[in-house]
Chain A
Amino acid sequence: MPEYQTFEHDVLVIGAGGAGLRAAIEASAAGVTVGIVCKSLLGKAHTVMAEGGVAAALANVDERDNWKVHFADTMRGGQYLNNWRMAELHAKEAPDRVRELEAWGALFDRTKDGRILQRNFGGHKYPRLAHVGDRTGLEMIRTLQDHGVHRGIDVHMECTVITLLKDGDRVVGAFGYDRERGRFRLFKARAFVLATGGIGRAYKITSNSWEYTGDGQALAYHAGAELMDMEFVQFHPTGMVWPPSVQGILVTEGVRGEGGVLQNKEGKRFMFDDIPELYKNQTADNPEEGWRYCQGDKEARRPPELLTRDHVARCIVREIKAGRGSPHDGVFLDISWIKEKIPKAAEHIKKKLPSMYHQFKQLADIDITQEPMEVGPTTHYIMGGVRVDGDTQMSTVPGLFAAGEVAAGLHGANRLGGNSLSDLLVFGQRAGKFAAQFAKEQGAGEINVAQVEQAAQRALEPFERNGANAEGPYQIQHALQEMMQDLVGIVRKEDEMLRALEGLQKLRKRGGQVAVPGNREYNPGWHTALDLDNLLTVSEAIARAAVERKESRGAHFREDYPDKDAAAGKFNIVVRKGTDGSMQVRRQPLSEMPAELKQIIEEMK
């Protein structure tokens, strides 16, 4: 029997990005003991990469903004598949969560009268994103981290959970390993909050780091929880495309918010050609009006570059496929043109978009104040995830909560930029609060030792394999990423996705033969091998849900069903593990929205 260390907390938070930290702070404030597990070092999670800002209807820049407008924008962006309760709570609570960050030391950019400044972003009717230049995520995670370290939260850095342990229906333990020494760890707790983020590593071109292998989604799935909306993967329209080594790195939407325009190789602003019906009333029909909007003119409508991400990504793909793309299979994103409009444009760009300026200067030898960038879509975010209760964030498994990207519901079929940072604050806080409450009401559970032993032995198998079929973990991971990119990407077709499902079966077999050299100490090969299981699980969930949704809506685009289907707009797709171990797919009808919320949506149409 492999040895393991045991740790005990009332609440264990798995994941230490914004949602995890916010949940840990809240749970700790409720008077329970809290442990937080980070896959990397504390403060390095993906939240740090968030650039544009955090959406909250503070109405500091435009007094017409309020929670109702934010709610309606979020629902419209999500094509009405959102959990309306989450969209309501999110819109109502985001302003308080942002102000609270300021009370904890975050320093946002200011308006002239000294309040928190807000910027324009895609799909948001009014300037709504509180921000710090283009490094808002760093400001948020550092604020939460520095606030959290004084709260007596136990931090388990560089530690990965590989399985959840149950006592009857309830989750009572988490089993994993520490990266540094490769020793196993058992965490006993009365409530668990998953805050593990996304699945970007299931795709070849992604803005996500190595950590985002769908761990939380897979842990929840294997523990019997339901996953929802997994077909909705957000491809951010603007990732870097050249040089090859930087492919996928994010170019913030803030570039377009500050007036950046998308052009094809003919120099045409192609976004004006295709403005969806749902957004016609809110979108400028000429460049002049679009520019005035970016300059804060309240009478102007937003430029089509600031339409929702799913739409912009598809328009870019269309231009590239039609042979009108840039030299390296992207399109041009130009902010330098604003020098025609304002004096000292170069200084202005460097001030508003400092990290973009450095990123292109250092990694691509491009001076964005002088020349256009080349950009193309990159896998960025998954709207789907663990199905949770809108108020408490508890999954369908008692004691198991989820918040942030790993949870489903708030964003529906497509997420608006800026709504993820507010998501993780609002629902991180709620998950922490209700997890603490749940923990207080529960006795300690029984850990099934046999299950622990089995998990440990399974985790060590890659070291023991050396058969003829043994393969390295990176080859299998790369094969999976290529396949998902090609067959379950931005534009989908039934036969391709069915091929992907077959391919996943084969990859699972290969995954069962994966072998790693060396020992358990800080061995990335081993970690990659263990993460593979999760990638395979979430990839299958994405493909199965995408096959089931026979329409195009939000981020899910089917070439064989290019239109929206009103009937398909009445349900979410839910997957769960069947009793025989196979993945079961079902349609979950949307719950009836209260009349007052319906009315808000009608009024804002």
Chain B
Amino acid sequence: MRHTISVLVENKFGVLARIAGLFSARGYNIASLAVSETMDPAISYMTIVVEAKDEKILEQIKKQLNKLIDVVTITDFTKKDHIDRELVLVKVDYASKDKAKLEGILSKYVAKLIQHKADTAIIEAVGEQPQIKQLLDDLDKFGIKELIRTGRIAITK
């Protein structure tokens, strides 16, 4: 099962390596990772999506994260009421005759056509993972040339 964990850390060089090393040393994979500064520039916010087979592994990940000297606090969103989002940029095959059809699809999502050329269009979309997945399935009919997505970010309600 995938779990979303956020970690407040000291904003210092090497901290990301400490976090990443903790996962790699135990053979845990990071599914996605988003890092940014907070309002306090001395602190960074990391949102980590991790695959954990069971509760015990998740517990161990949280405890080990807490043990790192540079980690200030940890929030596990698994059992918390929260909102999560990710942002995608998608480059699709495009012909001007498809414009209306494409916009029709996009209108169902929080998505917009941000640029289109003779043969390609770039779309920006924000949403929860299932919505993004649905959108990508829809866009696949046009032919996805390139896809970039941020890691998931989350906030408690």
A and B co-occur in one complex? no
| Chain B contact residues, CB within 8 Å of chain A | none
Instruction: Please report A residues at the B interface, Cβ cutoff 8 Å.
Output: none
